[in-house]
Amino acid sequence: MAAPSKPAESGADLELVGITKQFPGYRAIEELDLSIPAGSFFALLGPSGCGKTTTLRLIAGLEEPTSGRILIGGSDVTGQKPHERPVNTVFQSYALFPHMTILENVSFGLKRRGVSDYKVKAIEALKLVELDHLAGRKPSQLSGGQQQRVALARAVVNRPALLLLDEPLGALDLKLRRQMQLELKTIQTEVGLTFLHVTHDQEEAMTMADTVAVMNRGRIEQLGAPQELYELPRTAFVANFLGQSNLFTGEVLEATDALIALEVGGRRVVVPAARAARRSGQVTIGVRPEKLLLHLEEPSLDGVNTLGPGRVVDVSFSGVSTQYLVAVPGVGQIIVFSQNLVHGAVINRGATVWLTWSIEHGFGLEDIAETRPHFDDEASAPGLPGVVAEAV
Amino acid sequence: MRGMRGFGKWALPVYSVIAFVFLLIPIAYTIAFSFNDSRRSNISWRGFTLDNWFGVCQAQDVCTAFGKSIAIGLVATLVATVLGTMIAIALVRYRFRFRSSTTLLLFLPMATPEVVLGSGLAAQFLAAGVQKGMLTIVLAHIMFCISFVVVTVRARVASLDPALEEAGRDLYANPRQVFWRITFPLLLPGIVAAALLAFALSFDDFIITNFNAGPEVTLPKYIYTAAARGIPAEANVIASAVFLLAIVIVLAVQLTGAVRRKRLLQQ
Amino acid sequence: MAFTAFASDTALAPQQEPTKRGRVALLLLLPGLAYLAVFFLAPLISLILTSLQRPAEFGDFGQYEYAFNVDNYADVFGAYGGHIVRSIAYSSAATVAALLLGYPLAYFIAVTLRRWPVWQGLALTLVIAPFFISFLLRTLAWKQILSDEGPVLGFLQLVQVLPDGARLTGTDFSVIFGLTYNFLPFMVLPIYASLASLDLRLLEASRDLYANAWSSFWRVTVPLSLPGIISGSLLVLIPAAGDYVNASLDFLGGTGTAMVGNVIETLFIETGNYPEASALSVILMALILVPVAFYVLFTRTEDLI
Ligand SMILES: Nc1ncnc2c1ncn2[C@@H]1O[C@H](COP(=O)(O)OP(=O)(O)OP(=O)(O)O)[C@@H](O)[C@H]1O
Ligand SMILES: [Mg+2]
């Protein structure tokens, strides 16, 4: 079978069905199901070694799945060779051909598919990434950022139904990175392709993508719109990988249609039933640090959960906000981000405080957090027994 | 202490210069005697002439032997380079059983004295009743060149980023196009280096050739047999010409490499 | 065997694990390996078989038939034991001499010239330059230079280092000299390769830890260049042990300097005494295999070539 002869009119959707990839002695991908709608910007986020690159390589056809099927635009491509698939990749290392000029690099795919006006199209693609003036150079004569843009042009020029990007911005400095993020997003909207973007920069994923999937140990932990993922993480891993979370584990005391209540550090804490994944037994719930409020006296408010008293063990000022670390006996250390709305009146280290958050800000996880977050050495250091004694 | 330091600082460079001179003395001698106005034997200096250079083929034997050495070198280089390159690619890119035996088989010819290689092959040709001649010489040369080609090309294959070939496959090139448009051009410098090495080894080989040449006379064999009665200056001319050509090639390669590195650094 | 010293830019190589499998590997390997099996392994077996032949019972003089005639070995040991010992002595001496001469040179190129890449490249070119001119002519050049009428002998006699009747060519010295000269680049290149990757900060660290220059050299530099020293020594020892050009009468040798190689050549090519020539070849191979086997045992097979 020959190469796909026509450039795609628009992006196609991608579907992975029960994909498993077994390397000798290591299972990199485990029963992976994934579906990406056509024309979307999809980000795959996860820690190093979780299987992101392997997933992309499976989709590109550079690796064969041990089991499962891959469908692009509804047709099964599992058995197809890489050059037969309507997919192009922007490689992490760029993989520009060192023996060819920039123009030859960009027109390589077009020539293989027998596109006659490949030169015009290649120049167009180079214009898109603002590099047409360097068409005659060799890759070694370009800067890192320019090489990256050539790699992008080389892939985009083929109008693939699906464009795979493997941490294409990984090697760039922060400024160039932000600029390239904008360019990428612009190109995606302009040409309307389906982008599958791998990164381990969560900010990058959140700002660029329509949909973010968080991957861990060869599985997708959770998938959704960036805001949804942030506001309602389903697992302890996601809660801590995307931003920071305070997690508390306790026994369920009461579960109604509206809410579930559990015991945390001797107090009753409530989560809306709609935001809780489990309703009985041991349950882990969480709340984002910026949703917490600090009080110097024990508050008596409705519609909030309260923890404390605890002692402020660390205060760090970071311009827009201040980060407090509060050790609450029986609960552990809790992080609080407080916006610097009011000048002065900063709570000092050593102060005794209470914490509250609105009930609707809490979330209940599917799994149990294994260790208490932020309960590091400092908290169990000699200072703590003193705090406990004082509190009792 | 200061004095010692000063001595230590200069001892090594001075020694090295002497060592380089030592290495170059016989080369200078050979080139100088290619201009010797010699009659029959080229042993003592009789005055400067260019006749040997302009009339190399006056000494017909030398010229014929030279032609044969070139022909043998070209054929042996071609075959050994193809076979060795294939092995080098397999060694770097593929997993297979018998890997250590393969490595050992490639290593041993380089670790065997040439007399043993030569007499072994000769014994084999004798037992098989093969007439010695050009063919047996070529067969022998291919044999000892393969391992050197493997070593040289393998280094190049190992430095080739597999992502480049994957990028080619991703950009709609079929396996054949990937090989000819990406893999091969990128390996070419290594393959050329290997071919030059193979040619040099074949062209200068005497010991193995001597056992398997039968009546054929290659240039080294000619020189060896003529050594007793004196080598005609024309042999020096050919050796000098080959030497100068090789040095020019090597220096050109080195200089372009250095210039390219410099240009890269400046950017 | 650090033959990689001959290879072009090896520095780039990020070692990758081979990943692909399949029949393609077989197709790539088979032609070359089959070639080596037929023209390298089979001849070694042929050699052993020939070394056990005996004169044909009903054949002419110079015809032999297959047998299990171990006497050939006893015969050649008796007749050419001295040549064997001489070969071992000459090649060992040449190896030691090449190491002593070559190490400082390799150190100079790899370490001292490191800051001047262009000069380093030129120096390396000078080291391999002798390869580009005929091995035989190089050796003949030394013969003329060291000859009785040559400048070296005359000078040495003038300054009374050598007595009047003394000669340089045709002696043990001249043969070892020739072997050392001819194979010196084989010593320099691998040592250069291992010193080129020597991290100079290690020496600074060693100096920092109160070692003086001498003990830094012995405890840091030499151990780190040991792989180069070992492969360089083998690369000199092997060809030197089998060489018969330097020791030949027409080159640097004399009547009392014949090595095993010279005997094998005479027996095989001139006399046609194949069994004895083969027996000597087998003995030479066996002797060489001793250091080679040690090398193989203490080297990862991947690094052999
Ligand atoms: N060819 C292979 N053979 C064996 N194991 C492999 C192979 N390729 C990848 N792996 C393993 O599979 C796991 C996933 O690798 P992968 O490259 O997909 O990670 P990743 O998510 O892209 O990580 P990173 O963010 O560091 O790039 C890793 O543990 C890796 O060691
Ligand atoms: Mg990766």
User: Is B128:C46 a contact under the CB 8 Å cutoff?
Assistant: no
To test the pocket of ligand 1, the residue of A53, A62, A89 to mutate (highest count of ligand atoms within 8 Å of its CB) is A53
The CA B193 to ligand 1 mean position distance, Å, reads: 35
Which chain C residues are closer than 8 Å to B231 by Cβ?
137, 140
> Is residue A34 domain-shared with residue A152, that is, in the same domain?
yes
pLDDT digits (tens, 9 = 90+) for A219-247: 899 999 999 999 999 999 999 888 889 99
> Which CATH code is given to the segment(s) B61-231?
1.10.3720.10
Of the residues A211, A231, A251, the one at which a domain ends: A231
- Please name the residues between 169 and 188 in chain B that touch chain A, using a CB distance below 8 Å: 169-174, 177, 181-182, 185-186
Q: What is the pLDDT of residue A380?
A: 37
Q: CATH code at A327?
A: 2.40.50.140
Region A111-128: mean pLDDT is 91
Q: What is the pLDDT of residue C136?
A: 94
Residue B217 has pLDDT above 80, yes or no: yes
> What does the alpha-carbon distance between residue B103 and residue B90 come to, in Å, rounded to a whole number?
12
Residues paired with B48 in a beta bridge: B36
Tokens of C205: 């660290």
Q: CATH code at A198?
A: 3.40.50.300
Of the residues A231, A250, A266, the one at which a domain ends: A231
Domain extents for chain B?
Answer: 61-231
Region A206-227: mean pLDDT is 91
Residues near ligand 1 (Cβ within 6 A): A 23, 26, 28, 46, 48-54, 200; C 19
Region B5-24: mean pLDDT is 86
Higher pLDDT, A111 or C148: A111
Band (A89; pLDDT cuts 50, 70, 90): very high
The complex's ipTM? 0.91
Q: What is the pLDDT of residue A357?
A: 93
Q: Is C210 left (phi over 0), alpha (psi -120 to 50) or beta?
A: left
- Which candidate from B19, B119, B147 shows the least CB-CB separation from C305? B147
> Is residue A30 domain-shared with residue A133, that is, in the same domain?
yes
pLDDT digits (tens, 9 = 90+) for C62-115: 788 888 888 999 999 999 999 999 999 999 999 999 999 999 999 999 998 888
Total domains in chain A come to 2
Interface test with B, best of C125, C133, C248, C271 (most B CBs within 10 A): C133
> What does the alpha-carbon distance between residue C145 and residue C153 come to, in Å, rounded to a whole number?
8
Residue B4 has pLDDT above 50, yes or no: no
Q: Which chains touch A (3 or more CB pairs under 8 A)?
A: B
> Is residue A182 domain-shared with residue A250, that is, in the same domain?
no
Tokens of C78: 């008796």
> Is residue A278 domain-shared with residue A130, that is, in the same domain?
no
Domain membership of residue A92 (yes or no) is yes
Domain membership of residue A5 (yes or no) is no
Of the residues A204, A231, A258, the one at which a domain ends: A231
Residue A379 has pLDDT above 80, yes or no: no
**Which residues, other chains included, contact B29 with Cβ-Cβ below 8 Å and sequence gap of 6+?**
C141, C144, C145
All residue ranges of chain C with pLDDT < 50 are 1-15
Domain membership of residue A325 (yes or no) is yes
Residue B255 has pLDDT above 80, yes or no: no
Q: What is the pLDDT of residue C57?
A: 76
Put simply, whether B150 touches C (Cβ < 8 Å) is: yes
> What does the alpha-carbon distance between residue A59 and residue A50 come to, in Å, rounded to a whole number?
16
Q: Which long-range contacts (CB under 8 A, 24 or more apart) does A133-140 make?
A: A134/A102, A135/A101, A135/A102, A135/A103, A135/A106, A136/A101, A136/A102, A136/A103, A137/A101, A137/A102, A138/A98, A138/A99, A138/A100, A138/A101, A138/A102, A139/A94, A139/A96, A139/A97, A139/A98, A139/A100, A139/A102, A139/A105, A140/A98, A140/B264
> Is residue A328 domain-shared with residue A190, that is, in the same domain?
no
Q: Which ligand is nearest to the CA of A54?
A: 1
pTM for this entry: 0.83
Size of interface A-B (CB pairs under 8 A): 64
pLDDT digits (tens, 9 = 90+) for A157-186: 998 989 999 988 877 778 878 888 888 888
Domain membership of residue A89 (yes or no) is yes
The CA A241 to ligand 2 mean position distance, Å, reads: 17
Domain holding A195, by residue range, is 14-231
Domain membership of residue A346 (yes or no) is yes
Which chain B residues are closer than 8 Å to A112 by Cβ?
171-174, 177
> Is residue A252 domain-shared with residue A224, that is, in the same domain?
no
> Is residue A212 domain-shared with residue A89, that is, in the same domain?
yes
Domain membership of residue A121 (yes or no) is yes
Domain membership of residue A41 (yes or no) is yes
Q: What is the pLDDT of residue B79?
A: 98
Put simply, whether C291 touches B (Cβ < 8 Å) is: no
Q: What is the pLDDT of residue A343?
A: 55
Q: What is the pLDDT of residue B8?
A: 66
> Is residue A204 domain-shared with residue A241, that is, in the same domain?
no
Tokens of B126: 């004798």
